[in-house]
Amino acid sequence: MYGKLRNSKTAIFDEKVKPVFEELIEYGFGYSALANALNTKGIPTRWGQHWTIDSVRQTLKRLDLKTL
C-alpha cells in the first residue's frame, strides 16, 4: 500500500523535474553542476532536501538520463 503511494509521488516529482534536468544537461552540466544549479534555483529533492551528487545520480538513473 505505502509502496504504491511512494511510487506515484515519485512519478509526479519526476515529471516535474525532468524538463529541468534535460535543459541543464543540454548545457553540458555534470553531476556537481546539476546539484549546484538545482539548489540555486530553489528546487528541492523529492524528500525536500538540498541536492547532492548522489541524489542527482539517483534521479538521473530513475529518469533514464545521462550526463557528461
Determine what percent of the chain is predicted with pLDDT higher than 90: 84
Q: Tell me the mean pLDDT in the region 12-31.
A: 96
C-alpha cell at 27: 548545457
pTM, full prediction = 0.87
Nearest CA to 22 among 37, 44, 39, 40? 37
- Does pLDDT of 2 surpass 70? no
With bands split at pLDDT 50, 70 and 90, how would you rate the model's confidence at 68? confident
- Does pLDDT of 50 surpass 60? yes
Instruction: Supply the pLDDT for residue 7.
Output: 73
Instruction: Supply the pLDDT for residue 8.
Output: 84
Region label for 28, one of left (φ > 0), alpha (ψ between -120 and 50) or beta (otherwise) = left
